[in-house]
Structure 1
């Protein structure tokens, strides 16, 4: 019998190993028509970059290694920020609005460097050891004048008190009668964003070791160039140019 006349053998179907799949059916799509509405002078409330600075942080640390190391193979580093806080120290008034631009401030930063250290131990043909350590740092920088790309804006609260004279004698103060006026302004808080971290470091054993000798402590001298961006949500009006918008007098009692 001719082999060409024999029925073909069924090939075993490939197993899916628990992975289910379904062929997708194409659907139609169409353009959505929109009707633009002209805006004469639109106003936006958006994050504004106040400053973008590179701060140099210098830190030294001792990291214990167990089991002891004979050779450092690789060190990976990342920065984690716990705080980026702007503390204003000088102001300039914005007309009679009761709001002020910041002309000088201290920028506080804090966080830690997460280090992942891979090293060889004294045992031959042993797997690489891994040590994770957090190196903390804090510091501040002075921001003045041209350091600000756009100045922060703050409004201050105001408390007023009026006292009265006795209507009977016109000679004595009324201790039971007062008039109070309290204005509370709520400001957008400046905040920070991590942009970049550039590390320069020297790692060594603080104690001399012989050839192939082991050491328990790794001393690190780190110079970190930390770039952060400081922002504040502000109200901006678009027109021929962009201008910052602040409220006018909010019930302030002025002489």
Structure 2
């Protein structure tokens, strides 16, 4: 019995491999001076904040006596830009978009924790998806001197010929076609921020400790998205980095530090 007990306490063998150290050194590089390089990068053409208003009823099973906590997130299924107005770029076949419709669709995922009528029962959890869809108008550029979406227009041309024998009718068996197709970078959207303002209540007022099965919610969602298009950008002096200003319940306050103050 003692030998069997000792064998059960022996740890299992593990195979290990000793690592061989490698030497490393800095790789020399050669810098080529470029005055104004041209790069191809995602360019933010718009960053709107959309106000989305949603009302819905959520059924709770089992019935609730008290809502403890509600956690929300946004999931976007669609951010699509449809241009409706253009301005030609010089004498080219490329156009800057000056006005467009932005279609946005998605859903709000709500995680509701609540207490049921049972005594000393565990908290209940209800997950609900509230869909929303709509559009907004965008004008470009959004700021003076800002970026705009750029689109190249495809063209189709046809040339017909006269009957060379009679010079009186058309040649239906002969034609010249020209077809120019420009392939554009598709503008796309990115989720930036979601600010929720919400009121949840039972449609029928109940007495304290009484149960209710329907939770009515009224949500005002301020949704901030980026509209981005990959473009060629020429770098040079004066480039800046911009940061969006998102309003909330407690916006940041700008203060000027006193140089004579001892505060760090």
TM-score, with normalisation over the residues of structure 1? 0.83
Alignment counterpart, residue 203 of structure 1, candidates 180, 200, 206: 200
Q: Does 1:169 align with 2:137?
A: no
Q: Distance in 1 between matches of 2:100 and 2:167?
A: 49
Q: Does 1:128 align with 2:151?
A: no
Change (3 A) 1:18 1:91: farther
Alignment counterpart, residue 43 of structure 1, candidates 34, 38, 41: 38
Partner of 1:72: 67
Superposed counterparts of 1:27-106, under 5 Å: 28-106=23-101
Partner of 1:247: none
The alpha-carbon deviation at position 239 of structure 1 amounts to 3.9
Alignment counterpart, residue 189 of structure 1, candidates 182, 186, 189: 186
The alpha-carbon deviation at position 238 of structure 1 amounts to 2.4
**How many equivalent residue pairs?**
229
Q: Distance in 2 between matches of 1:214 and 1:125?
A: 15
Q: Distance in 1 between matches of 2:119 and 2:18?
A: 53
- Provide, for residues 2-53 of structure 1, a one-character-per-residue CA deviation record: whole Å limited to 9, x for no partner: xxxxxxxxxxxx9989999989787544322211122343211100010111
- Provide, for residues 89-114 of structure 1, a one-character-per-residue CA deviation record: whole Å limited to 9, x for no partner: 10000012100000001111110000
Which has more strand, going by share of residues? 1
Q: Does 1:212 align with 2:209?
A: yes
Alignment counterpart, residue 107 of structure 1, candidates 87, 92, 102: 102
Unaligned runs of 5+ in 1: 1-13, 243-255
Unaligned runs of 5+ in 2: 1-8, 240-264
C-alpha RMSD over aligned residues: 2.4
SS of 2:77's partner is: strand
Alignment counterpart, residue 225 of structure 1, candidates 199, 222, 226: 222
Partner of 1:246: none
Larger Rg: 1 or 2? 1
Q: Distance in 2 between matches of 1:156 and 1:40?
A: 32
Change (3 A) 1:119 1:23: farther
Q: Distance in 1 between matches of 2:44 and 2:32?
A: 29
Change (3 A) 1:82 1:164: same
Superposed counterparts of 1:227-242, under 5 Å: 227-240=224-237
SS of 2:121's partner is: coil
TM-score, with normalisation over the residues of structure 2? 0.80
Q: Distance in 2 between matches of 1:141 and 1:205?
A: 32
